[in-house]
Structure 1
Amino acid sequence: MDDFTALHSTTTSALVAATRTASNLAASDLPFHRSLDAGLSSALDEQNARLLSLAERLLGSATGGAAENGVRPHTPRLGSIESVEGDWRAVVDVVDSLLERADTALDEFTGAVRRLSPGVGEQQKVGGAAGGSVRPGRIAAALRNREIEKPQLSFEHMPKNDETGEFVPLLESKPHATKPLEEVQASEQPYQREIEQFRYPGSVYSQTEPIPYHSFGSTTATLVDTVEAMYEMLEELKQATEIAIDLEHHDQRSYIGIVSLMQISTRDKDWIVDTLKPWRRKLQCLNEVFADPNIIKVLHGAYMDVMWLQRDLGLYLVGLFDTHYACRALGYPGGSLAFLLKKFADVDAQKQYQMADWRIRPLPQELFDYARSDTHYLLYIFDNMRNELIQRSDLTKPNREGDKLWDVLQKSSETALQRYEHPTYDTELGQGPMGWYKLLARTPALLSKEQFAVFRAVHKWRDDVAREQDDSVHFVLPNHHVFSLAKQMPETKEGVLSTAHPASQTVRLRVDEILAVVRRAKEAGKEGDEMMDVLKRVEPQLPRKIAREVAASHSVAAFVPKASSPAVNSAVSSSSTLPLRSVTSTFWGSALGSNAQQERHGFSTAAPSISLTVPLPPLTAEIFADPPETTYTPVKAMSPEPAPMEALEDEGHDDIFILKQLGKKRKRAALDAEPRDAMMDGMAANNDEVTIMPDSDTERAREKAERKKARKEAKRAQRAAGGLDYDEPAVDDQEPFDYTSAPSILHPPRESREEARERRKKVVNPYAKSADVPKALGRVQKERSGRSMTYKT
């Protein structure tokens, strides 16, 4: 211990002195001193080369044993000052790895945490007591970073990643079949008829007391890692009426993924099935239970589990109950299994193990307990959720509209009907689950011809290498690195490594291949296709399911009347083929501004006509008419009888016909009439048509004509006296104005006070009534809490 203390003190002092010296040198103006003394410049270059060599040797030593518990970090090459900046992230990774290893070693030395993964020759009983204090976060990180030999290399049937066409089911026999396996077509799910004809037993619809689970600490699970243990488990499962199932999947070091573990629980017992054994295909015998219509299979979020069981083990589910759909039907705030464990069993799920590498063998106790907890409580959760679904269902509604349990069972059956298909790759249009189109459609990027060609070429190279190595595409090259390489189009190997930094092991080993792919694609892209042109070719070839979803989101059938114009019908029929991506707005025309780049990529800025997404009915007079429920008595159009000659003589033929005055008379007559008679035709009222007076109103019309004549006489008299009338409209028969005899405005004649007073009385003040309007808000405002002074009431 004394030697260690002395060594620690000496090392610390040397590091502190070196750090201080480096800081002082960095604060000096070394380029200026280099320009003054050539000898100093040479000495600095020699010291730089020596320090870089030492640093590179230290980094190499640090990464020499780093692969024991994880992936070996990349050893950066520090040949020059520029390489330090280029490989700085790699240097940081090495230092972080050193600190992590030192922290782990200190924890093991002090006893704070035991060594999790046993080495060669060490024994660990799977399912035994954990013992000791464990840090879950550090354990989960260690479980993710282990280098494990691929178990699929030892399978009796190794996965083939280049298969095309229809997926051939792995079934060798078909238990509980209503349709023999020989009659099942290639495009059909083997248990499709059995699932469609299945009827859930009456026990599912009965509300019973939930069966409590056994204590987790007082029980354990049985590891199934032999064929004999598998058959023993099968015989016990046949006696159950409900079982809970869950899977653990690994997709990092496998192209299509691999089922690494399967958990099965009954009311009394738990099993952990090792699905990485070479004889894993023999697990097909579990179809005697999985396809048994008398046994309910309870899973949570079974959509992908159904696919994985078909793909790897040839297993199918008849009688599925998915608790995820029950969460949605009951409106729970959470839909995860961790939420259900906390709600019904008061168990905190250790979800940091969810992303662990489930290929680790022997299985650590932490992963063993976590996997077991996923199904140990699930049947008890099923009992509670089933009772709640029955309680909250309204069985009085027709067609099972209020039956929540029925909805969950229907959606669960639809999930069980899913069928696995081989992942295909379309180089030209990027279609399929592994194609480039979905990645590009989700990313708002506009690439040039060369960049688009490089993007497709690198994406295809990544898929080919992943299939060849049996690795996931993300392990070979992440998505953001594909975009970076397409945008940067590096010309050197160093440029490829810096663009795809931090580079994976595959990229470092195949950097020459990537560089050649980028160069060829860049050269070919000069005469290649535009990105938008290719996307336009992709749009009409979308899968039918996506087309139906898009058509449903744009559906306008509910808003269109039955009797519509051909244009409306054509618009409705075209809504079922609407594309996923629209380059123009269907209402405003072009969705983008007008520039040369958009014109080159096919965006048309011209909008010759406006086509509405929601079609309108023909705009006819019936649209503006009153609704048919409104009842009123319209005024009948009657032929007017000629007025008596006496009235015409009294009225005079030289009277001027003024529409405005007739309009006023008509309004006054409408006010005097009955309310029902006042409801005239709206179109006639808008056009100011002359109201035809019936015979009973002849006397009233004569009186109004006399009053009009009297007003005209008074007006003529007033005009003769020199005054003006502002109340009556001017007429065309007045005398022309005499400008020569009119008084001058600039030099008005002097008038006496009496004349000025009389003149002011006759002049109308246009602002006389301006003070009669409501007063505005005062200038001085007093703020009051909780009240607004915008309007004063």
Structure 2
Amino acid sequence: MEKIDNFDSLQASISSALVSTTRSAGQIANEDVSFHRSLDPTFGTSLDRQNARLLGLAERLLGSATANTEIVRPPRLSDIDAVESNWRAVVDVIDSLLERADTALDEFTGAVKRLSPGLVEQKADATKAPKTSKIAAALKNHSIEKPQLQFEHVPTNNETIPFKPLLITKPHAVVPLETSAEAAYAHPYQTEIEQYQYPDEMYTQKDPILYHPFETTTATLVDTEDAVEEMLEELKSADVIAIDLEHHDQRSYIGVVSLMQISTRDKDWIVDTLKPWRRKLSCLNEVFANPRIIKVLHGAYMDVVWLQRDLGLYLVGLFDTHYAARALGYTGGSLAFLLKKFANVDAQKQYQMADWRIRPLPQELFDYARSDTHYLLYIFDCMRNELIERSDFSKPDHEGDKIWDVLQKSSEVALQRYEHPIYDYELGQGSMGWYKMLSRTPALLSKEQFSVFRAIHQWRDNVAREDDDSNHYVMPNHQILTLAKLMPTKRSELLSAAQPITQAVRLRADELVSVIVKAIEAGENGPEMVDVLSKVEVQLPRRQTAQVAAQRPLASYLPQPPTTTAISTSNLPLRSSISTFWGNAFKSSAHQERDMSSLSQISLAIPLPPLTAEIFADPPEHQTPVQESAPPPAESPLPTPPAREDDEIFVLKEKGRKRKRTDAVPTDNMAAQTDEVALPDEEEELERERVEKKKAKKEARRARKAAEAGGFAAAADAEEDEQPFDYNAAPSVLNPPRESRQEMKERRKKEKNPYAKSMDAPKGMARGQKERAGKTMTYK
């Protein structure tokens, strides 16, 4: 308590000193310092001395702040100008101080520091908390102590040897445990699953047994060893049970089974699998491996692995409702879809991603976990009957047996084995490798960036194994790609690029910066990204499927000549050397050079002429058909059909002309088709007709012009033959003759219509060019 009082007094004195200094600096800045320097020289000397002292203190503070950091040379503040020139470096130091202070506060408040078990139990017993706060804590709660730290067998995450089964005894064994364990830790129940025969009740159609009302029943919580024994005795009398798991993988490297739900026709159990004695649950193999009891699960692909990894449990007689939904062709295959379809229950999927480590479980999570298995046996009955109805048992080899298909798929799922995740730095293979992430990214990294990418990815995996956290909790995938492209070499650059900053990156920023610097130096002489990816593709398993075969070039489908040797393609990835439809395939031009000499030996079923350059060349203006001196005789000549008048070469309507038929006799196989274009002789005839018609039009135009010119000349001659004007006989202008009534009407009518005289103008020459169908005047 004395230390806290001393700290409070020290903090008060420092705060008061800072406030007075700030006020004094603000008052001085508002005055004219240069004017006071000119009035009192001693003021200027004192001011310079204080400036030097403050700069020295600031420089010492920067040196202390950069101690034991990645900043080797702190900024130097020799004068006022140095502050402006080194301002960026000063800001970096301040940012580093703020980050370290933030980290220290997180450790002090407990956001990073692991809580003690007593504190966790104290928080768990706080029943006065509102319901909403409990649900929020259940959905995302990082302050829970890792339960795996209290296990009798704490995970180390650094195993490199094959996974050894956790079994101590092997109930319902066909092969003893010692014999099955000698074969390099094989699946302990592999023989039992492969030889298992499902009971005849699977092919018997029965009325579904309705589940008990959910509101009037409850589940039994199993959190002690005695409760496990009581549950086991009741499960032994059942003929079918439903099983489901709740898994947590955010604050664990390999994940941890947090909850197990088991249901019979009459009762539900919720088993707490986070107890230190959790491996004693392997005694449930007396039920799980019992061939008399059917185990119903939905989507058991990962549940089978988790059961043997954490609890040492194996399933003999599995029925997976997910494969049943696929066999029946349902529009959905999730458990929520089946609950809605058969039980009319809406699953509360907002709790699916909850933190299942929280204890005690809120009622909402408890009910959600129970609902996963409470209705599952009724769903199993309904789907089994539907599979029987839609199966055709008359076909041989179980061709129409849908139940047999579901049982075979379920047995394959039960035969899965868990293996320790081993990190592969070179090729990035495995569930924790980098290859999958990089292969889905279209970016092409340089040698230095690729080296940084692999180094950061390996650093993240090492930190996750050491802290027993998931890889995504340490650093998300997008940050690895961002840091690989930017390659930051300073703490400040790293923290600004890795947004949002995780706790692991913030606490180990200096370590990560050193990893990036070393990776940049090693990447200068390192491998290219494309070269490494090509090595990975070569080692991938070959897939001889129709989908991959459809992606090969067309030349690879052509049959091989009988005289040549089959080309080996064992070193080519993802490519089949034999096609089930075409037979052996040529080598692909995508990987090897194509042998052009083998094209001449290709023999197809359709007869083709020799592939010479004359066939693909444009026809000349005057082409004379050339006949071969000695055409090769056909092995099986076809009978020549009798010539008909309709078997003529025709030309589609072109340039507004009608189709003209001409007699033409084909001279070879290529010209024997009736849908060819016109021959050169016909084209010349058409061109000749066009020239003659154009010439006739020009002559008609000249004659018309000459006739018009002759009319003008005749009119001129007529004017010359007229008599001179007689002024005496001309009408008087002062006394004009009177118009008749009819002439007056016509004159007024013309005056009212100003456009009446427009029709008296001479007409223009008629248009000589007319557009016709198939021909345009723009392009002649």
- Specify the alignment match of 1:392 in structure 2: 390
Is the contact between residue 321 and residue 380 of structure 2 (CA under 8 Å) also seen in structure 1? yes
Q: Structure 1 686/464 Cα, relative in aligned 2: closer, same or farther at 3 Å? A: closer
Q: Which residue of 2 aligns with 1:286?
A: 284
Residues 568 and 617 in structure 1, CA contact (< 8 A), matched pair in contact too: no
Q: Does 1:623 align with 2:590?
A: no
Please tell me whether the aligned partners of residues 90 and 502 of structure 1 are also in contact (alpha carbons under 8 angstroms). no
Using a 3 Å threshold, how does the CA distance of structure 1 residues 477 and 625 change in structure 2: closer, same or farther? closer
Paired letter, 2:644: L
Secondary structure at the aligned position of 1:624 is classed as coil
Note the 1:309-320 alignment, pairs <5 A. Answer: 309-320=307-318
Map of 1:577 onto structure 2: 573
Determine if contact 2:284/2:313 at 8 Å carries over to the other structure. yes
Report the counterpart of residue 670 of structure 1 in structure 2: 643
1:531 to 511, 529, 532: 529
Measured after TM superposition, the shift of residue 548 of structure 1 is 2.5
Q: Secondary structure of the equivalent of 2:643?
A: helix
In the alignment, the residues of structure 1 paired with residue 298 and residue 267 of structure 2 have an alpha-carbon distance, to the nearest angstrom, of 19
322-331 or 562-571, larger mean C-alpha shift: 562-571
Q: Does the aligned pair in 2 maintain the 1:492–1:515 contact within 8 Å?
A: yes
Q: 1:456 to 1:771 in 2, by over 3 A?
A: closer
Q: Displacement, 1:170? A: 0.8
The code of the aligned residue for 2:417 comes to: R
CA shift for structure 1 position 141: 5.8
Measured at CA, do residues 276 and 567 of structure 1 come closer, stay the same or move farther in structure 2, by a change above 3 Å?
farther
Distance 1:309 1:358 in 2: 16
Residue of structure 2 equivalent to 1:554: 549
8 Å CA contact 2:291, 2:316 repeated in 1? yes
Q: 1:481, CA displacement in angstroms?
A: 1.3
* Letter of the 2:384 counterpart: R
Q: Cα gap change, 1:121/1:510 in structure 2, threshold over 3 Å: closer, same or farther?
A: closer
Aligned CA distance change for structure 1 residues 618 and 195 (closer, same or farther; 3 Å): farther
Q: Aligned to 1:163, what secondary structure does the other structure show?
A: coil
Paired residue secondary structure (1:239) = coil
Shift of 1:494: 1.5
Conserved 8 A contact 2:475-2:502: yes
Q: Gapped runs of 5+ residues in structure 1?
A: 1-32, 47-77, 94-116, 125-130, 581-585, 591-603, 627-657, 662-666, 676-680, 690-724, 730-744, 754-769, 777-793
Partner of residue 175 from structure 2, selected from 174, 179, 194: 179
- For the pair 1:333 / 2:306, whether they are aligned, the reply is no
Query: What residue in structure 1 maps to residue 148 of structure 2?
Result: 152
Do 1:244 and 1:266's aligned partners in 2 also have CA atoms closer than 8 Å?
A: yes
Deviation at 1:257, TM superposition (A): 0.6
Q: How does 1:124-523 map to 2 (within 5 A)?
A: 139-140=135-136, 142-184=138-180, 185-523=183-521
Give, as a single letter, the amino acid of the residue that structure 1 aligns with 2:603: T
Closer, same or farther in 2 for the Cα pair 1:252/1:132, shift >3 Å?
A: closer
CA separation of 1:217 and 1:123: change in aligned 2, threshold 3 A: farther
TM-aligned CA deviation for residue 87 of structure 1? 12
Q: Deviations over 1:32-63 (max 9, x none)?
A: x9999999xx9xxx9xxxxxxxxxxxxxxxxx
* Conservation of the 8 A alpha-carbon contact between 1:89 and 1:502: no
2:125 corresponds to: 122
Superposition pairs of residues 617-656 of structure 1, within 5 angstroms: 619-620=602-603, 622-624=605-607
1:245 is paired with a residue whose SS is strand
- Contiguous gaps of at least 5 residues in structure 2: 1-28, 36-46, 48-53, 55-87, 104-119, 577-585, 610-623, 628-639, 649-664, 674-683, 689-698, 708-769
Shift of 1:577: 3.2
CA distance in 2, matches of 1:390, 1:34: 94
In 2, Cα distance between the equivalents of 1:674 and 1:688?
Answer: 10
The alpha-carbon deviation at position 145 of structure 1 amounts to 2.4
Cα 1:610–1:341 shift into 2, 3 Å:
farther
Deviation at 1:387, TM superposition (A): 1.1
Partner residue of 2:660? none
Q: Residues 465, 88 of structure 1: CA spacing in aligned structure 2 closer, same or farther, 3 A cutoff?
A: closer
Contact 2:569–2:587, Cα closer than 8 Å, also in 1: no
Deviations 1:393-449 (A, max 9, x none): 222333222222221111111111111111011112212211111111111221111
Query: Does the 8 Å contact 1:143/1:357 carry over to 2?
Result: yes
Take 1:617 and 1:371, find their aligned partners in 2: how far apart are those partners? Answer: 70
Q: For the Cα contact (< 8 Å) 2:319–2:406, is it kept in 1? A: yes
Q: Write the letter of the residue equivalent to 2:149.
A: L
In structure 1, the residue corresponding to 2:247 is in which secondary structure? Answer: strand
1:121–1:236 distance in 2 versus 1, CA, 3 Å: closer
Aligned 8 A contact 2:567 2:587 in 1: no
TM-score (ref. length: structure 2): 0.61
Deviation track 1:331-368 (CA, whole Å, cap 9, x = no partner) reads 21211111111111111111111111111112221211
For normalisation by structure 1, the TM-score amounts to 0.60
Paired with 1:198 and 1:668, the residues of 2 have a C-alpha distance of 69
Indicate the residue corresponding to 1:593 in structure 2.
none
- Relative to structure 1, the CA distance from residue 366 to residue 89 in structure 2 (aligned partners, 3 Å threshold; closer, same or farther) is farther
CA distance in 1, matches of 2:371, 2:34: 72
Instruction: State the distance in 2 between where 1:321 and 1:193 align.
Output: 18
Name the CA distance, whole Å, in 2 between partners of 1:35 and 1:684: 108
Structure 1, residues 653-696: CA drift from partner, whole Å, max 9, x if none?
xxxxx9699xxxxx997227999xxxxx998554789xxxxxxx
Question: In the TM superposition, what is the alpha-carbon distance from 1:575 to its structure 2 partner?
Answer: 9.4
Deviations 1:691-721 (A, max 9, x none): xxxxxxxxxxxxxxxxxxxxxxxxxxxxxxx
Paired letter, 2:277: W
Is the contact made by 1:246 and 1:299 (CA closer than 8 Å) also made in structure 2? Answer: yes
Query: What's the CA shift for 1:578?
Result: 2.5
Please name the residue that 1:12 is paired with: none
* Aligned residue type for 2:174: T
> SS of the counterpart of 1:548?
coil
Name 1:642's counterpart in structure 2. Answer: none
CA shift at 1:219, angstroms? Answer: 0.7
Query: Using the alignment, how far apart are the partners of 1:623 and 1:35 within structure 2?
Result: 103
Amino acid at match of 1:671: R
Matched-pair contact (CA < 8 Å) for 1:568–1:616:
no
Residue in 1 that maps onto 2:619: none
Equivalent residue pairs, number: 557
- The residue identity in structure 2 corresponding to 1:331 is G
- 1:537 positional shift: 1.9
Q: Give me the whole-angstrom Cα distance separating, in 2, the residues matched to 1:36 and 1:406.
A: 97
CA distance in 1, matches of 2:564, 2:292: 53
Please tell me whether the aligned partners of residues 488 and 494 of structure 2 are also in contact (alpha carbons under 8 angstroms): yes
Give me the whole-angstrom Cα distance separating, in 2, the residues matched to 1:133 and 1:208: 47
Aligned to 2:757: none
CA contact (8 A) 2:253 2:468 kept: yes
Residues 107-151 of structure 1 deviation map (CA, whole Å, 9 limit, x = unaligned): xxxxxxxxxx99548366xxxxxx999559x82465312411111
Q: 1:452 to 1:688 in 2, by over 3 A?
A: closer
Counting aligned pairs with the same residue, the percent is: 58
AA aligned opposite 2:460: R
* Cα displacement (A) at 1:616: 9.9
